[in-house]
Amino acid sequence: MLPCLALTLLLHHAAARSPVPVAGEVGRAVLLAADAGPGFQRRDVIWRWLATHEELVATYFRGSAETLYQSRFQGRSRLHANLSLEILRLELGDSGTFSALLVDALGRTETRALRLTVHEPVTEVTVEVFMPSRHWAGSGEPCEAFLSCTVASGTAVTYSWVRGAGQAPGTDSRVLGEAGQVLRVLLSPAERHVTYTCTVANAVSRATATSVLPWEHCRRTGLAEAACRYGEVLLFATPLLVLATAAAVLAATMACARRPGKPPATSANTEPAAA
Ligand SMILES: *[C@@H]1O[C@H](CO)[C@@H](O)[C@H](O)[C@H]1NC(C)=O
């Protein structure tokens, strides 16, 4: 009977339908269901994993389940009475296509394929604000900011941005980066209280960052700019000031030397003679 099953397995290999996507999370279990078409009375099953190479994972034959095959899932798989295959303690490398060859009492077969993708869950979403311009004109002007969303972990993630209490980011914003992890915003002074937040999701999890208030950073840039200008002024003013002081001191000294009543030395010499 088994060689017969193997033959039908080969015959059905090419006839497999497009795989049903299934998402799993690292460390957790996933249930792979072997649903058959209407009227098909499943009796036996052969579960295989088709990834970098092919591995036999589990069989259910004449009422007895077998999962102790030399596969990467040995000791991590369970075959239920309804022929569903459960993989425990998922690893990223478990991603791949699982194929179930179902056999009914009359020897008819059906093939089911499921594409398992194992994900790391999303953790620690944070948003950082970058100010591209060091020359923000001031509180009355629009301010450009780049919001960058990052995650500590998570595979195959997508980023989404929300403005304020749940609106789309708006026409003045542009989503950048392949997955949309950067948002460029141009804020008018009327938008000084508008917050932005980033949500990161994948097939198994989602997490949202703490909201940011970009205007805060605009203001800070403005202040930094002001401080910088003051610094520049000091930097340029100090040598001038020193020169000016030196000149003033020199002038004062010379003026002192020529104080009224104390004429230049040449005439001073003649003064006693005149007296
Ligand atoms: C099959 O059996 C398992 C374990 O009892 C159960 O969790 C699952 O819902 C059943 N059905 C399918 C379609 O997997």
Considering only CA atoms, which residue is closest to atom 1 of ligand 1? 82
* Across 43-66, average pLDDT: 93
Please give the distance, rounded to the nearest whole angstrom, from the Cα atom of residue 61 to the centre of ligand 1: 18
Q: What is the rounded CA–CA span in Å between residue 56 and residue 41?
A: 23
The count of C-alpha atoms lying within 13 angstroms of the C-alpha of 180, restricted to the half-sphere facing its C-beta, is: 16
Token digits of residue 107: 């020897």
Are residues 172 and 113 located together in one domain of the fold? Answer: no
- Quote the pTM value: 0.68
Pocket test for ligand 1, best of 84, 88, 98, 112 (most atoms within 8 A of CB): 84
Are residues 110 and 127 located together in one domain of the fold? Answer: no
Task: Read off the CATH number of the domain in which 188 is found.
Answer: 2.60.40.10
pLDDT of residue 6: 53
Q: Which domain holds residue 18?
A: 2-119
| Higher pLDDT pick, 156 / 168 | 156
pLDDT of residue 120: 97
pLDDT of residue 172: 79
Are residues 143 and 194 located together in one domain of the fold? Answer: yes
The reply to whether 236 falls in a domain is no
Considering only CA atoms, which residue is closest to atom 7 of ligand 1? 31
- Is residue 92 in contact with ligand 1, taking CB distance under 6 Å? no
Q: What is the rounded CA–CA span in Å between residue 107 and residue 8?
A: 9
Task: Choose among 184, 182, 173: nearest CA to 150.
Answer: 182
